């Protein structure tokens, strides 16, 4: 009897939901790097109430990890234990209310920029250069080309680890560079962003300029994860990496981009361990050369492959 309980898969212990629950789902295809192990359980909620229901009814101690569009994310080769929440189409809608855009957390930042353009709202053009989803962008105060979420944030709704909803204003977020005060177990499900009336043609021109600059300076058509490290105060991460001689540095199937050396690239056969190990080697070389310790901007989650094998050997799913 004890052995049978020991091998019960997590998915069998979760509440009945209206969305989609799947066990042992490969996650590499959901990330821009195209690497990483499986989710123990992948949950795609039907709506916010469905998400709150699962969070409130999950077994105690079961971890929850949120997966956006996978743009600034590295999932380790052993995968992610617990529940991985993926906010899909139900969370990707955007509507305009005067000078405000109310958008689901699953909407991509470029699509929100397009909605603002079509509504004649300026100030959100920078989102064209942010490849992630709005939920992740709010959590990390994402920005590009002189703009950031903090400058356009009006409010957000989040659901905590017990399934309770919370209304958040800008004071509650306490935004800083690539940072917010949002609790780790709170999931943003909706955000309201503020624009200013503007000429759609001028807004479109600025968006095209942002996109052109991205294509000119960044390896956006490769298997990459966006900016790898945050810029230290008063410095640029790529310049420090270049100074340390890391441009073109390789480990396994991973390489530091020749085009923009604050980007790591999966050349086709990289593992997550290759990419993370290369990033740590860059950090070490930069520190040795400059005395500056780079901090990861890419979110690294999950367990190494060896940890996954140990879990399976012990009888976990």
Smallest CA-to-CA distance from 190 within 255, 138, 251, 113 is with 138
The answer to whether 307 is a known catalytic residue is no
Nearest 5°: CA angle at 303, between 298 and 309?
Answer: 150
* C-beta of residue 144 within 8 angstroms of C-beta of residue 164: no
CA distance 67 to 233: 29
Selecting among 227, 257, 276, 308, the annotated active-site residue is 227
Selecting among 148, 297, 299, 308, the annotated active-site residue is 297
The answer to whether 227 is a known catalytic residue is yes
* C-beta of residue 252 within 8 angstroms of C-beta of residue 274: yes
* Helices and strands (DSSP H and E) totals, the chain: 10, 19
CA distance 158 to 226: 25
CA distance 237 to 258: 14
What are the strands of the beta sheet with 153-159, ordered from one edge? Answer: 94-97, 100-104, 187-194, 153-159, 165-169
CA atoms within 13 A on the CB side of 205: 5
Selecting among 102, 178, 214, 250, the annotated active-site residue is 178
Token couple for 143: 């920005």
The answer to whether 178 is a known catalytic residue is yes
Concatenated DSSP letters for 10-57?
A: GGGGSPP-SSEEEEEEE-GGGSSS----EEEEEEE-SSHHHHHHHHHH
Residues designated as active site: 178, 227, 297
């Amino acid at each position: 009897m004890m052995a049978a309980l020991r091998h019960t898969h997590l998915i069998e212990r979760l509440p009945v939901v209206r969305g989609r629950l799947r066990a042992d789902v490969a996650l590499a295809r959901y990330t821009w790097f195209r690497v990483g192990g499986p989710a123990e359980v992948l949950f795609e909620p039907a709506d916010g109430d469905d998400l709150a229901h699962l969070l409130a009814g999950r077994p105690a101690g079961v971890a929850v990890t949120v997966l956006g569009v996978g743009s600034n994310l590295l999932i380790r080769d052993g995968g992610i234990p617990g529940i991985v929440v993926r906010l899909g189409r139900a969370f990707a809608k955007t509507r305009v209310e005067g000078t405000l855009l109310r958008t689901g957390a699953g909407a991509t930042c470029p699509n929100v920029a397009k909605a603002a353009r079509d509504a004649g709202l300026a100030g959100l053009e920078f989102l064209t250069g942010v490849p992630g989803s709005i939920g992740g962008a709010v959590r990390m105060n994402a920005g590009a080309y002189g703009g950031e979420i903090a400058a356009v944030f009006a409010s957000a709704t989040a659901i905590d680890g017990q399934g309770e909803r919370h209304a958040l204003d800008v004071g509650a977020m306490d935004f800083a560079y690539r940072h917010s005060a949002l609790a780790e177990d709170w999931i943003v499900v909706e955000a309201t962003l503020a624009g200013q009336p503007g000429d759609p043609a001028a807004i479109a021109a600025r968006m095209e300029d942002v996109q052109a600059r991205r294509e000119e300076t960044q390896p956006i058509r490769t298997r990459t994860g966006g900016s790898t490290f945050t810029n230290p105060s008063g410095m640029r991460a790529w310049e420090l990496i270049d100074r340390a001689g890391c441009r073109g540095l390789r480990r396994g199937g991973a390489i530091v981009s020749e085009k923009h050396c604050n980007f790591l690239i999966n050349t086709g056969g990289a593992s997550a361990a290759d990419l993370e190990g290369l990033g740590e080697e860059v950090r070490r070389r930069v520190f040795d050369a400059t005395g500056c310790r780079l901090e990861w901007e890419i979110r690294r989650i999950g367990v190494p492959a060896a940890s996954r094998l140990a879990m399976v050997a012990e009888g976990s799913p």
